[in-house]
Chains A and B, each alone.
Chain A
Amino acid sequence: MNGATTSAQAEDQACYVYGVVPDAAPKPADAAPGVGNPPSPVTLIHHGEVAALVSEIDPEAPLGSPDDLRAHAEVLDTAAKRGPVLPFRFGGVVRDAQAVTDELLDPFEERFAAALEDLDGRAQFAVRGAYRQGRILQEILADRPEIADLNARTKALPEEAGRYERIRLGEMVAQEMAARSAADSRALLERLAPLAVATSDGAPAADLAVDASFLVDPGRREEFEAAVEELAGVWAGRIDLRLLGPLAPYDFVTGLIERTVEAS
């Protein structure tokens, strides 16, 4: 690594790393451009049983435009559709291809290979849903008479006079919405978690009713998708449900690697 300083300074290209796949993974399609502007083609750096998905970028150019984010996801999700992939976090850049081999693939080959084997065939699905505003608010007014009363009162008040009542009203609506989101999230997990190998969920962000990710075995994928469709039918008109996937296992890869470390 003695030449690192001088060569890094002279280099106008560096190696962006998307993830790690098995050595036998198919070459990325030409159609999938990488990050950066203009994007370079995504290629594989092979080493032993594994290979890294990389593309050249200009290390001086800032990264993170919507196109860059989409490209990162697109490269990984495309790989996930074809086989196992260990996704790296957005923004990982290594000096050059040699460094990817020497510092990433060579020392961690066994660990990556074990995690890829563990993953085989499984993919992540994300299920997200947003409330229909009118519907959920009506539901709240119907179920909570005190909120409906306050609503009627604030409506009658002039703008200035009703400020604090309106803040209170909004607060009550927001709390009720959060309670409904928690209940709907529980229902979602009860239905879908049994069909998945692993589940990842946090509190849905403020504008979402439900938001969870699932690692799904290929053998249960149809069943899982049917269950999501069924839930979407139950919630139709109330929650607009969307299903993303198959995706690279963004939420599960860290756990996979840790498990292989513990096992070894």
Chain B
Amino acid sequence: MTTVAHRGGGYVARPTPSGLVDVVDLILDKGLVIDVYVRVSLVGIELLTIDARIVVASVDTYLRFAEAVNRLDLAQGKEETLPELLQDMQEGGAKHKTKGALEGVKDTVSDVADRIRGRKDEDEDDEDEEEEEEEIDDEDEGQEEEDEEEPEEQPRRRRAPAARRRRER
């Protein structure tokens, strides 16, 4: 996590700089859309956005909650905040190439109940994405830490139409 600065021993955390998840939530899909203003000289670029890992009310989510609540009085000392719990489900936020002139960002972000997660190694290629099958039924309590469900969605690669347009001209 990021550095969290508590001011004057208060209860509210004021992280500076904001953590990546907060930054992504703040800026993606927000702000003035430049192609509303600039039409002729707009340059399409390739945007790698961090894949929005969608947390839907799914069986897996429910099983995680059930596990957490089952475990509750066994592990009183260990208090995770919910993001940590859910992060287990969301690990593997795949690199996601999307189109340039802004709509692509919207595509990935506007889904309901989405959460955006980035891993530190975003810069690297995603060939090493494991294709592990999730087998929650057979999951041992003991190996739970290593077991991360992988995103079913493969990273999609798209090239910005604006970029293409520019080349063809």
Kindly name the residue among B29, B30, B67, B84 whose own CB sees the greatest number of chain A CB atoms within 10 A. Answer: B30
A-B contact pairs, 16 of them (CB 8 A): A9-B166, A59-B43, A66-B122, A69-B27, A70-B17, A73-B23, A87-B27, A90-B105, A91-B105, A94-B38, A155-B70, A173-B66, A205-B114, A207-B115, A233-B11, A241-B12
* A149–B24 alpha-carbon span in the complex (Å): 40
CA distance A253 to B33 in the complex (A): 10
Contact across chains for B27 and A66 when beta carbons are under 8 A apart: no
> Does B22 touch A at the CB level, under 8 Å?
yes
Contact A65 B76 (CB under 8 A): no
Q: Are A126 and B66 in contact (CB under 8 A)?
A: no
User: Are A133 and B79 within 8 A (Cβ)?
Assistant: yes
Residues of chain A at the chain B interface (Cβ within 8 Å): 1, 4-5, 8-9, 14, 17, 19, 57, 59, 61-66, 69-70, 72-74, 76, 86-96, 99-100, 102-104, 107-108, 126, 128, 130-138, 140-141, 147, 151, 154-155, 159-160, 163, 166-171, 173-174, 177, 203, 205-209, 211, 228-229, 231-233, 235-236, 240-244, 247-248, 250-251, 253-254, 257
**A4 x B41 contact (CB < 8 A):** yes
Residue in A108, A244, A251 whose CB lies within 8 Å of B18: A244
Report the Cα distance A8→B10, complex, angstroms.
Answer: 53
Instruction: Kindly list the 10 A-B residue pairs having the minimum CB-CB distance in the complex, ordered from nearest.
Output: A170-B62, A92-B34, A99-B41, A232-B11, A64-B48, A170-B65, A232-B12, A250-B30, A170-B66, A95-B41
Q: Are A89 and B86 in contact (CB under 8 A)?
A: no
Q: How large is the interface on B (under 10, 10 to 19, 20 to 34, 35 or more residues)?
A: 35 or more
Q: How far is the CB of A88 from chain B (nearest CB, A)?
A: 5
- Determine the chain B residues whose CB is within 8 A of the CB of A9 once the complex forms: 166-167
Separation of A218 and B12 alpha carbons in the complex (Å): 20
Contact with A along B75-107 (1 / 0, CB 8 A): 010111111111100000000010011100100
Are A91 and B45 within 8 A (Cβ)? yes
Chain B residues 18-59 with CB under 8 Å of chain A are 18, 20, 22-35, 37-50, 55, 57, 59
Given contacts A63-B45, A244-B15, contact A130 B82 (CB under 8 A): yes
Determine if B43 and A174 form an interchain contact, defined as CB atoms under 8 angstroms apart. no
Is the CB–CB distance between B72 and A207 below 8 Å? no
Give the complex CA separation of A235 and B82 in angstroms.
15
Interface presence of B123 (CB below 8 A): yes
Given A65-B123, A94-B38, A133-B82, A159 and B137 touching (CB < 8 A)? Answer: yes
Closest to B163 in A: A59
Q: In the assembly, what is the distance between CA of A80 and CA of B21, in Å?
A: 20
Residues of B within 8 A of A166 (CB): 62-63, 66-67, 70
**B151 within 8 Å of A (CB atoms):** no
